[in-house]
Structures are given as structure tokens and as C-alpha cells.
Amino acid sequence: MTWSHWEITPFITSVFFILGVLTLFWVSQNWIINFFNTHHWRVDQSLITDWYGLIYMMLFVFGMQTAVVGQNDAWIFMNFQLIGLTFCGYFLNVRVRYYYLYPLVFIFMGFNHSLYYWESWGHAVTLILFFTALGRLRKHVPLQTKQGQVTLYLVTCAGFGAVLWWFMKLKFNLSWATYWQEWTYLLVFASLLYIYASMLSANAHLKQNLVAFANHDALTKIENFAAYKTAINYQVTSSRKNGSQLTMLMFDIDHFKQVNDTYGHLAGDKILQHVAQVATIVFHANNPQISLYRTGGEEFNVIFPNYDLTEALAVAEQLFAAINHIAVPVNDHQIQLSISIGLSELAADDQSPTAFYQRVDANLYHSKKHGRMQITAK
């Protein structure tokens, strides 16, 4: 086998080509998501999947078609393009409404010199219906059994594939042998796509679950001490490098041990969950970039990127007012809550994130030592 002499059948090379394109997508998408996570940029991952998936597949479709535009064999890459559409519409579940596809279809038809063929218009309408059907099918997949998922998926691909290839048969005067061969190839590719994409998706979900488990507190569902260490190291380094402001807050629940001893650990767990929920609401209402962590039993740390002490103090006072004197119902009791807070801004003489942490912790200790239910900011 040489560059000019290729003994492997086109079908085999097509299979590996499709798998390679999909693998490249998954790898590059994960790289983008990891890039955002490394820089602690909070971006909805589904948004990345939607836009990157759409752009990637459009480049794939237009790039392949460039080689055959205006030729009598302009149909030869259609199965690849249909697999790309299936991948976006079903497996990525790209949330693009059908009417947003009109401009893309018109652009592709103009690019492919197909605007004056009625078969191409029929093909385009069917393509939009196919994409819409894939999205609706994916939306209702959880209601189906595993076998039902595969059956509905293959029936949808087979039905629309038959109509799409019928339009190509008419336009390019293809033989019935070619029609059935290409339709069969489409079903084989669609089946392989289902198997391969399902495997990749399962591995991705497993990885996400492991990462979430390692970085989140099982009780309160907020990030834990391990996540805090990663975040504070990054934020301190970033603040030093960019000259940006950084403030940290620590708070804990007053007399929490007494609550545990009096009402039991289940009551303590309920209080921790309630405090975490209230704090999350307060911080997200102010700025989603504010990060909350459970770093100890009843202790919580909060990182304020690009906040000076005065700005962070204003948010701390909101938290203070929201939690203090809240009555949490536990069985037949109403447990009154209060918190103590310490906060400080990153200083030039803080030699490390640990030194910064210790200063904030000292402020929290000052609040607790002087009567609790106080804020110490300096």
C-alpha cells in the first residue's frame, strides 16, 4: 500500500474517516472546556457544545463539498454530511431551531450551485425536517427503553435517508443499485455512530461524575476544600500577575457543636444544607463569579475575584442579614441561626495563599472571640 496505490476498500476507509472526525471533535471540545475550567471562567458547557459542534460540523460539511462543487459526482460525500448532521442533531442535541437552519441551507445550496434545481429544494426541506426530528427524538429518549432508543433512531435515519437519497437519485440520475448501496452505507454508518458516540458519551459522563465527586461536598452540593485549594492558588497567582483585586471571606455557624449535641447530627446536616443554599442564592444574585466552598465542618470560604474589601463587605452584609436569626424547622423545633464572618483583601506582603487564608481566619476568630454574630473586615 502506497500513497498512490490503496488496497483498502472505500467503505473501510470511510468508517475510519468518520470515527477520526468524531474523535477529533471530542478531543478538541474537551480541550476547550478544560481551557475554560483551568482559567476558572464559568461558562455553560452546553453552550460550548452547541456553538462549537455547529461550527465544527459546518466546516466539515463545507470543507468536504469544496472538492466536488458543480461536478456530476457532487453527491459522493452526502453520507458523511448526513452523519455530521445526525451527530449534531441527536448526539450533541445542538439546540438550534429549524428556522435558524434556513440561512445555512441557502448558503450551502448557493455554494453547491444547487439553487435552480427543484430536487435540491426538496432535499433541503427534508434535511431540515430530519434535523428537527432528531432533536425531538433526543428530547423524548429518556422515556424510552434502551432497545426503543436504538430502534427509533435507526428508523428515523432510515426513513429520512431514503427520501434524501431519492432526491439525489433524481437529480444525478443514479441507478437503483447505487441508491440502495448508498442508503445501506448510511444505515451502517449511523449504527457505528450510535455505538461509538454512546461509548464516548458514557466515558465523558463517568469522567464528569468523578471530577464532580472529587470537588464537591456530598452533603451541601457546593465545592469542597480540594476545589478551594485549586481555586485560591489560581486566583492569588492571577491577582499577582494582573494586578487585580482579590478578597476572601470565611464564615461559620455559631454554636454549631451545641446544635449537634442537642438535636443530633441529622439536624446539623439540615442546617448546613440550608446555610449553603441561602449563601449560594446571595452570591449568585450579586455575581456568579463569587465562589462558595465548604472547607470544614461548619466553616465556609468565599472567594471574591476582582473585589476590593469594601465591595466584598457589602455582599458579606447581605449574607449576614440573610442567615442571622433564620429559624430552621427540625422535627418539632425551630433552631435559630447566626454566623460569624471574617474577611480581608489580598495584601502585598501575603507570601502565599496560606498566609492570605491565615489572615482571613484570624479575622473570623476575632469575630467569634468578641461575642460571635459579628463581621470583622480588615
Write the pLDDT tens digit of every residue in 201-238: 766 666 666 666 778 888 888 999 988 998 999 899 98
Q: Give the model's confidence band at 318: pLDDT under 50 very low, under 70 low, under 90 confident, else very high.
A: very high
Do 303 and 235 touch, CB atoms closer than 8 A?
yes
pLDDT value of residue 32:
87
Angle at 74 between CA 69 and CA 78, to 5 degrees: 115
Could you tell me if residue 18 is inside a domain? Answer: yes
Q: Are residues 209 and 294 in the same domain?
A: no
Question: How large is the average pLDDT for residues 147-174?
Answer: 90
State yes or no: pLDDT of 48 exceeds 70: yes
10 Å CB burial of residue 92 (0-12, 13-18, 19+) is buried
Reduced 3-state DSSP string for 55-84? HHHHHHHHHHHHHHCCCCCCCCCHHHHHHH
Which H or E element spans position 367? helix 353-369
Residue 1: band (very low, low, confident or very high) from pLDDT cuts 50, 70, 90: very low
Count the domains in the chain.
2
**232 is a domain residue:** yes
> Of 48-62, 174-188, 226-240, 256-270, which range is least confident?
48-62
d(CA 237, CA 349): 14
What per-residue confidence (pLDDT) applies to 236? Answer: 92
Mean pLDDT across the chain, nearest whole number?
A: 84
Domain boundary, last residue among 189, 215, 241: 215
Provide the 8-state DSSP code for 328.
E
Q: Give residue 97's pLDDT.
A: 60
Residues 181 and 51 reside in one and the same domain: yes
Asked whether residue 161 is domain-assigned, the answer is: yes
Q: Is residue 3 in a domain?
A: no
Shared domain check, 211 and 89: yes
The three three-digit cell numbers of residue 191, written as one number: 449504527
Residue 44: strand, helix, or coil: coil
Look up the domain containing 92 and give its range: 10-215
Is residue 44 domain-shared with residue 179, that is, in the same domain? yes
Question: Is 207 contained in some domain?
Answer: yes
State the pLDDT at residue 41. Answer: 73
User: Domain check: are 39 and 58 in the same one?
Assistant: yes
User: Is the same domain home to 80 and 126?
Assistant: yes
Whether residue 1 lies inside any domain: the answer is no
| 146 and 266 assigned to the same domain | no
Residues 261 and 204 in one domain: no
Same-domain pairing of 179 and 233:
no
Last residue of a domain, one of 148, 180, 215: 215
The mean pLDDT of 305-326, rounded to a whole number, is 92
Q: How confident is residue 365, by pLDDT bands cut at 50, 70 and 90?
A: very high
- For 32-42, what is the mean pLDDT? 77
**Cα angle 44-50-53, degrees, rounded to a multiple of 5:** 130
**Banded pLDDT at 85 (limits 50, 70, 90):** confident
Query: Which of 45-54, 276-285, 312-321 is the least confident region?
Result: 45-54
